[in-house]
Structure 1
């Protein structure tokens, strides 16, 4: 294996690992180094650039992420082109305003990321629902005079069932 290609794989894997651990600044640096070691028009060049798009998003460099995605929409590899178009659509989508009550700020312990706070999605606080209570009816208050319909319906049902039994 070529030494340059071996160096690429080392940088590429390190950049992906840093990206997965949320160390976006280091990931950007490592992935940019990996990009310099490979032909950007190759399949691996497209893959490293797609990872770079995610890392750019992580550090808040949205314009750079969009620029790389727009470049990749003309990549020779069909899969890279399709993936970049999907990601570009998401990157250019209008941002929705979330209420501050939905967000929880978590301070970063990494001194390199102090200017980019991370957020966790918080569930909205809802009031506990009251349990339904059963109301006891006073049976002496029920109007039984209008129950003639029930007896007529029951009699008709028995007649119909009797006729069906004879068939």
Structure 2
């Protein structure tokens, strides 16, 4: 591969990656397909470009093309590319789970709005917002006539048990 051709491949590959990461999947596919057409598909760089192309196909909703290319990459000469393709193919062919509507959040499409228009996200713009003040915590005074001040003899029983234990150990030794 000539250095000019390699430079074009690198430029298109980088442009495809940047477009993909920006969410411009159609542009990413176009750049990555151009790079794929110019690069040796069996090389390391060729495998990388094609793996990015698989993810761009999937992101754009063209799952069939993504699976088809991914199956071809499972036979790539480089072991790393083959393993990556097998993992990705497993994910692509996995059954799609259905998610109940109550588990999802609907995000409004703001792309159609003018840049000059502002959006109010308040439910009712005319409603007065009232904040509840927290009530201070007031502790009730303790009635000392209700408190049990009589000892329950526990301390004396514990002291006696300790004394007997020590006396028993002294006698046995």
Structure 2-normalised TM-score? 0.64
Q: Unaligned 5+ residue runs, structure 1? A: 111-135
Task: Tell me whether 1:156 sits opposite 2:158 in the alignment.
Answer: no
Shift of 1:54: 1.1
* Number of residues of Structure 1 aligned to a counterpart in Structure 2: 136
C-alpha distance in 2 between matches for 1:53 and 1:165: 84
Residue in 2 that maps onto 1:85: 86
Q: Which has the larger radius of gyration?
A: 2
Give the superposed CA RMSD.
3.4
Structure 1-normalised TM-score? 0.66
Residue in 1 that maps onto 2:107: 105
Shift of 1:107: 2.4
Q: Unaligned 5+ residue runs, structure 2? A: 113-139
Change in Cα spacing, 1:87 to 1:99, as seen in structure 2 (3 Å) is: same
C-alpha distance in 2 between matches for 1:150 and 1:93: 70
Question: Which stretch shifts more, 89-98 or 66-75?
Answer: 89-98
C-alpha distance in 1 between matches for 2:158 and 2:61: 73
Change in Cα spacing, 1:102 to 1:68, as seen in structure 2 (3 Å) is: same
Shift of 1:71: 0.7
Is the strand fraction higher in 1 or 2? Answer: 1
